[in-house]
């Protein structure tokens, strides 16, 4: 912290030691970059036919996952969707475990039994990636109910896309959480597209999540989802409210995905210039400038960049060298006894 103080003195009024502080800001930068590099690598590996099945990247949305994760405490639980690589990495799961699962290798997070849409790491509080739209909102309510019932202080944080706001489970969960005053934070990542269709074309209100908040007696919250500081502060406030027993929050974070819905989607439906406009507000670009503005040297930033690239390179090599899963895991863990027997 001595360094931080020195820099703050060097740049008077920079706010380097504000409520977020240098250490946390560097962590936020590193996390966003790790997600970006890992996802770009996942795309490269897909082109080499080393990532199989499908994958749903969050390129351009790193600030949401990072801001919310960095504000969490150990023991807080996160629930995400099939677009969940970012949320999983943001909670500290290693790049190797995630890429290994995408490559369906034995070193993957679930040894290839889950695949890219089902990343889960209980040890990190990553309670699953749910590939059925909206399914996990009620599940997050249940985890929050347990915290409320047991007097535990953890918060359940549930990420989903704008498309989710039109499915029944969204509305059931919001009402349920509000009525039961559950410590759950619902985070809508509004990236403007419901898969291939602009969300505005199929939704009766301009802000698909926030404009529905009043229906559940919740505050209307819309934030800049590309600015990790804004996200981080919003998260802190919502978690504090949840921990204080004051119930759920619904937050709509405006962001944009740089790639298509999934690997098969070239995103040709986007109007000309839209992507370029959003790339000017790339969360990593924004954050790198912020760090500089606060007096963090180019050298420190370059070191983080090099670190992260090495981490992703090493993970890639480890995954390429990892074996495919052994066939004997095929029938394990269907039931709690470890097996699959449904009859005697």
Residues in 65-84 at the binding interface with other proteins, rule: CB under 8 A = 77
By C-beta, is 166 or 175 nearer to other proteins?
Answer: 175
Q: Which of 3, 73, 132, 298 binds other proteins (CB under 8 A)?
A: 132
Q: Give me the least distance between CB of 105 and other proteins, in Å please.
A: 13
Query: By CB under 8 A, is residue 120 in contact with other proteins?
Result: yes
CA angle 41–266–66, rounded 5-degree value: 45
Torsion sign (Cα): 100, 105, 107, 108 = positive
What are φ and ψ of residue 78, in 5° steps? Answer: -120, 145
Pairing of strands 156-161, 184-190: parallel
By C-beta, is 117 or 291 nearer to other proteins?
Answer: 117
Q: Which of 10, 244, 324, 329 binds other proteins (CB under 8 A)?
A: 329
By C-beta, is 66 or 116 nearer to other proteins?
Answer: 116
d(CA 311, CA 307): 6
d(CA 315, CA 16): 33
By C-beta, is 169 or 291 nearer to other proteins?
Answer: 169
Of 91, 95, 94, nearest in space to 80 by CA: 91
**What do you get for the CA distance between the two ends of the chain, in Å?**
63
Contact 251, 238 (CB under 8 A): yes
Contact 16, 7 (CB under 8 A): yes
Query: By CB under 8 A, is residue 343 in contact with other proteins?
Result: yes
Query: By CB under 8 A, is residue 169 in contact with other proteins?
Result: yes
Query: By CB under 8 A, is residue 233 in contact with other proteins?
Result: no
Q: Which of 53, 206, 326, 338 binds other proteins (CB under 8 A)?
A: 338
Per CB under 8 A, residues contacting other proteins are 77, 109-111, 113-115, 118, 120-122, 127-128, 130, 132, 135-147, 149-150, 156, 168-169, 172-173, 175-176, 179-180, 329, 332-338, 340-344
């Amino acid at each position: 912290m001595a360094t931080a103080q020195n820099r703050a003195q060097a740049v008077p009024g920079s706010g380097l030691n504000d409520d977020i502080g240098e250490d946390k800001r560097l962590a936020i930068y590193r996390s966003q970059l790790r997600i970006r590099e890992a996802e770009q690598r996942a795309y490269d590996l897909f082109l080499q036919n080393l990532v199989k099945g499908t994958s749903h990247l969050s390129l351009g949305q790193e600030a949401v996952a990072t801001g919310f994760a960095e504000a969490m405490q150990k023991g807080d639980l996160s629930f995400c969707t099939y677009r969940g690589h970012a949320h999983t990495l943001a909670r500290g799961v290693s790049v190797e475990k995630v890429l290994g699962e995408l490559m369906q290798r034995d070193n993957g997070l679930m040894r290839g039994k889950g695949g890219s849409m089902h990343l889960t790491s209980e040890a990190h509080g990553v309670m699953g990636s749910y590939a059925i739209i909206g399914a996990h909102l009620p599940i997050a309510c249940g985890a929050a109910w347990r915290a409320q019932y047991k007097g535990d202080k953890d918060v359940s944080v549930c990420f989903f896309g704008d498309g989710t706001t039109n499915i029944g489970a969204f509305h059931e969960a919001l009402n349920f959480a509000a009525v039961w005053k559950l410590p759950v934070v619902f985070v809508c990542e509004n990236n403007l597209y419901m898969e291939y269709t602009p969300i505005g074309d199929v939704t009766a209100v301009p802000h698909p999540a926030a404009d529905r908040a009043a229906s559940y007696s919740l505050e209307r919250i819309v934030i800049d989802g590309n600015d990790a500081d804004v996200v981080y502060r919003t998260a802190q406030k919502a978690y504090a409210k949840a921990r204080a027993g004051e119930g759920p929050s619904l937050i709509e974070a405006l962001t944009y995905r740089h790639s298509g819905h999934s690997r098969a989607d070239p995103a040709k439906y986007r109007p000309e210039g839209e992507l370029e406009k959003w790339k000017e507000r790339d969360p990593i670009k924004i954050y790198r400038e912020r760090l500089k503005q606060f007096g963090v040297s180019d050298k420190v930033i370059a070191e983080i960049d090099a670190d992260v690239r090495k981490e992703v390179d090493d993970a890639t090599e480890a995954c390429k060298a990892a074996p495919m899963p052994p066939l004997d895991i095929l029938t394990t863990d269907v039931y709690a006894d470890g097996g699959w027997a449904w009859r005697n």
